[in-house]
Structure 1
C-alpha cells in the first residue's frame, strides 16, 4: 500500500531522478512512476532527466517535430487538402511514409526498453513493479504493433495504387475543371460483351471542390461524337440515326460494345494508355453529347462491386420500393423471384446491394430509378467507409477495390482529385439528369443540353 501511495507523491528532484537512493523502495517507486509518465507523455524526457541526455534531446526534438508536422497537416487539411492528400496517394509518398513509420516503431521500442532500464524495477515495490512494468509492456506492444500495421497498410496501398492507377502525365484542367467519365459496367447474362449500365460525368473544380454531375440514360439515341473522333467518320449524323449501327441496339451504351468488339483498329493506342476501344468511343460520344472535354474515366465493374461491399461488411441503404433479386420476364410478367429486397432501411450484403443497383423491374421511372439507386449506393459506401472499417478490413477492401475499378487517372492527380472531393463535402453538389420528363432520350435536343451544361458549370 505504501508503494502505491508513493506513486501519487510530488515529482522527485533532478538529483533523485538521476542518482536515487536505491535502498528506499518508496522513493524508487515514486521515481519510477514519474519516469514512466514522462516517457508516455513526452518521449525522450525520461532519458533527459535520468539517462543519456543526448538520446533524450534527439527523441525530444523528433517528438516536437512530429507535433509540428501534425499541426501543419491540420492546417493543410482545412486550407489545401490537395497538398496533404498527395502524400498518401502516390507511390513515392507512401514509400517515405512507410519508412517513417518503421523508423518510429524501432525508435519507440528502443526508447521504451531504455526507460525500463532506467526504472530499476528490481528496486521498486512489488505493486509498483507490476503496474509500471505492465503499463510499459502494453505501450511497447501498442506502439510497435501500430507501426507494423501502418507500414503494412502503406505497402498494400502502394501496391493497390500502382496496379489500379496509371503512371502517365497529368492532363491540364479545362476551364479549371476536371471532367471524369463514370461508367457502371455490367456484362450480364446473354450479352455479347460489356455494356455500361450507368453513364455519367463528374465535373470537379480543381481549386474550390465545386462538383457537378451530369447523367445520361443508357438508352439515349442519335448521339453525336466529338470532333476528331474516328467513330464520327463512321456516323457523321450521330450514332443510331436512321437505325444505323453495327450491333443489335443502336443506343448510347451499345457504343462500348460495338467499338470493343468490332472497331478496335480505330483505337490502336487505347490499351497502352490504360483504356480500351470501347471506353474511348464512349468517352468521345459523351463529349459530343455534353459539349465538354473529358480528361479521364473510371469504369466500375458491377460484378466485382459485390466482393468490395462484402469486404466492407455490407452497406446500409434506404430502399424506397420493393425490388426483386434475380428473376426474368415471361409474357410480360416477372417470374422466378425467390428473394425480395423489402422497403425500408436495409443492411445489404454484396449480392443484394448489386441487385439493388442493377434491378430493372418494379422501377416506375426505369433507368432514372436505377441511376438514382446506383448513386445512392455509392454515397452510402463512401459514408460508411469509416476508420474502424478501414483498420479491420483494409487488405480485403484494397484487393476488392483494385479488382472492381479500371481507370486512366494518373497517380500524380489522385491528391488533387481527393482534395477537391473533400472540399466538395461542404458544398451542395449539383446533379443534372437528362431523363424524362424534362428531356427525351429518344429525341434529344443536343443544343439545349449543351446550353444547360454550360449554364450549370459557369
Structure 2
C-alpha cells in the first residue's frame, strides 16, 4: 500500500536523469512528429499526407512534384547542351503564361499542404509552448514557399510583358551568307521625336553560328549616297540622296513627310533608312532595333553601371556655357547619367570621336553584363529594356539572338566606321565602302587572313600605329582616324 501523502501520479511515472516525466517525453514526441510532417511537406509536397493523412491528396501532390522535377531536369539537361532551347522557352509567351499560372497554382497548393501537415500534427494535443512554436514554423514555411513561387510568377510575368512590348510579330528572315545583319538606330524619345532623326546608325553583322560580331557605323552627315535597288527611295532619288543639305539622318524625316509613298509600311522612316543603309553598305538588313538613348541611361543604372577607360576629361552638358562638369580621366565605373554623356558629349570633340566612344560603350555593355547580374537585377533591366528598345525582331527569334549574344560575349568585336579619313562623307566612294565592308566581315569570320586586303581598291592612309590620345574612350585623331572606329578587337582599342 502507498502512504496517504504519496502522489498517485508519481506511482505511475518515473523520472529520468534529466527530470522529464513520461508525459513530458510524450509531448516532445508529438511535437517532433508535428515538425517532421511540416519538414516532409517542405521537401516533398504530399509526403505527410501520404504517411498519415489523405493518401489520395498525397499521391496527387507527389505525382505533380515528381513530374515537375522530371520536366525541370530534362529542360536543364537539354539547355546545357543547347542554350538556344532555353532561350526559346524564355521568349515564348505561351510557355511563359503556362509557367506563370503553374507557379501561382503551386504557391496556393504548397501552402495548403503545409497547413494540412500542421493539422495532421494534431496541434490541440501539443502543449501551449509547442503549439505556438508549430504555428510560427508553419507560418514561416508557408510565407517562404508562397512568396518564393509568387515572386517567380512575377518575374515570369515581367519577362512575358517585355517580350510582348519589345519584339515584333512579323515573319522571321533567314541569314544572308551565314550572317544576320541588324540595324541599330539610336535617337532621343519625346513628343513627336521618336526615331525621326536617328542620332546614330550602326549595322551589327552577326555570324549565325558563332555569334562573332562586326559593327559597321555610318555617320549621320553622309550625303550623296544611293538607295537599295527597287526601293521607294531609289525610285524617288535614282541618282542618290542628292538634294540640298540632305544627310543620312534626314532620310527618316523625309519619309515621314511623304508617308503616302509607303503604302504598306508600318514604319516609313525606318524602312527608308534601311534602304539607304543597304545601298551604302551592300548588306541585306534582316531586322532593325530603335534604341532610345534616354532609356539607355536607365539600363546602365539597372545593371549597376559600366567600367570605361576615360582618356581625357569628358564634358557633361551641351556646348560652351551649357557644360556643367567633367568626367575625369581614368578607369572609372560610370552610372547611367555619366555613361550617356560619355557616349554623347560634343564639346571639344567631333562626330567621329563620338562614334568611337559609342562603340566603346557597346563593347563594355556586352562584355561586362554577367548572367548573374542580369538575374539579380532582372525586373529593373526588363523595365529599362522595354523603355529602351523597339524592334521588328519576332519574339520567336529572340531566343536565337540571345544565344548569339552569349556566344559573342567571349569573342573580340571588329569595327568599321565609314568616316574620314577612310571615307569622304560628302562624296562617299560606294565601291570602296562595299570592298571595306566585305573585307572586315571576311577577316572576322576567318576567310581572310589578318593584314591582307580583299580587293585592289585602297582607302586613304591608315591610322598611325600609336596615335595620340584625344577626347573620348578611343585613341586616335580626326586626321589619323580613331582606333575604335577601325578595329579588329574593339576591346583593345578602348
Give me the TM-score of the superposition, normalised by structure 2. Answer: 0.74
User: Equivalent of 2:80, from 73, 78, 87?
Assistant: 78
User: Equivalent of 1:428, from 411, 427, 431?
Assistant: 411
Contact 1:217 1:435 in 2 (8 A): yes
Q: Mapping of 1:21-420 within 5 angstroms?
A: 24-124=26-126, 128-186=130-188, 194-239=196-241, 244-245=242-243, 248=245, 250-261=246-257, 263-271=258-266, 276-309=267-300, 312=302, 315-320=305-310, 321-328=312-319, 334-363=320-349, 366-376=353-363, 378-379=365-366, 382-383=369-370, 385-390=373-378, 394=379, 397-420=381-404
Q: Hey, what's the Cα distance between the residues in 1 that align with 2:213 and 2:176?
A: 14
Contact 2:318 2:346 in 1 (8 A): no
The worse-fitting range, judged by mean Cα deviation, of 340-349 and 67-76 is 340-349
The worse-fitting range, judged by mean Cα deviation, of 27-36 and 358-367 is 358-367
Q: Hey, what's the Cα distance between the residues in 2 that align with 1:325 and 1:42?
A: 57
Contact 1:22 1:28 in 2 (8 A): no
Higher Rg? 2
Change (3 A) 1:48 1:188: closer
Q: Hey, what's the Cα distance between the residues in 2 that align with 1:451 and 1:348?
A: 35
Higher relative contact order structure (alpha carbons within 8 Å, sequence separation ≥ 6): 1
Aligned residues: 417
Q: Hey, what's the Cα distance between the residues in 1 that align with 2:190 and 2:342?
A: 15
Q: Which string of whole-angstrom CA distances, capped at 9 and with x for unpartnered residues, describes residues 214-247 of structure 1?
A: 33333344433222122223333433xxxx225x
Distance apart, 1:428 and its partner CA: 0.8
Q: Which string of whole-angstrom CA distances, capped at 9 and with x for unpartnered residues, describes residues 2-25 of structure 1?
A: 9xx9xxxxxxxxxxxxxxx99911
Distance apart, 1:73 and its partner CA: 2.3
Change (3 A) 1:366 1:375: same
Distance apart, 1:335 and its partner CA: 3.1
Secondary structure of the structure 2 residue equivalent to 1:257: helix
Distance apart, 1:416 and its partner CA: 2.0
Change (3 A) 1:192 1:138: closer
Q: Hey, what's the Cα distance between the residues in 2 that align with 1:53 and 1:173?
A: 56
Contact 1:357 1:377 in 2 (8 A): no
Distance apart, 1:338 and its partner CA: 1.9
Which residue number in structure 2 is paired with residue 14 of structure 1? none
Contact 2:35 2:134 in 1 (8 A): yes
Which residue number in structure 2 is paired with residue 446 of structure 1? 433
Secondary structure of the structure 1 residue equivalent to 2:204: strand
Unaligned 5+ residue runs, structure 1? 6-20, 329-333
Contact 1:180 1:298 in 2 (8 A): yes
Secondary structure of the structure 2 residue equivalent to 1:183: strand
Q: Hey, what's the Cα distance between the residues in 1 that align with 2:384 and 2:419?
A: 35
Which residue number in structure 2 is paired with residue 17 of structure 1? none
